[in-house]
Amino acid sequence: MAKSLRSKWKRKMRAEKRKKNAPKELARLKQALSLDKKGEADMSDLQDIATVVPADKITKTDAEMVEIKEEEEDDGKMDMDKKRSKKTLLDENGQYPVWMSQRQAKKLKAKRVTKKTGKVKQKKGIAW
């Protein structure tokens, strides 16, 4: 792609804006990171920058941690709500998976029908 005058101008103006706002941004970051006598950051000014959550809510009790570990320690298999035949890829309702294309589903159906009836259906198109 060619570098147009407009994109060059926009890039130049963004750089100027960054230069202009850099001191303000640096002061704001220093203020947010500054510690008072207790060793805690000043939360009143920090709330307009980020969401402040008390530490009590973040820490979890031992019982909650045990429940979470039990949930994670499953056998590693996904919960499958539908049963699917591995050979035909059909589920209990006769539906193919959503990831399968229509053309592929049609091919598999043709295979199934020919096994059942023993008749080969003629394909449309030019015969060479």
Nearest-angstrom CA–CA distance, 16 and 56: 43
Q: Which two tokens stand for residue 111?
A: 């295979």
The answer to whether 82 touches 91, Cβ cutoff 8 Å, is yes
Q: What is the tens place of the pLDDT at every residue in 3-14?
A: 899 999 999 999
**pLDDT at residue 37, as a whole number:** 44
Any residues with CB less than 8 A from the CB of 78 and at least 6 apart, and which?
none
**Which residue carries 């008390």 as its tokens?**
54
Q: What is the tens place of the pLDDT at every residue in 46-81?
A: 666 666 666 666 665 556 766 666 665 655 666 565
Greater pLDDT, 106 or 71 = 106
Q: Which two tokens stand for residue 50?
A: 């980020």
Nearest-angstrom CA–CA distance, 46 and 41: 8
CB atoms near residue 112 (< 10 Å): 13
Nearest-angstrom CA–CA distance, 31 and 41: 9
pTM of the model: 0.33
Nearest-angstrom CA–CA distance, 122 and 110: 11
Question: To 5 degrees, how large is the angle CA 66–CA 68–CA 71?
Answer: 110
| 3 state SS of 72 | helix
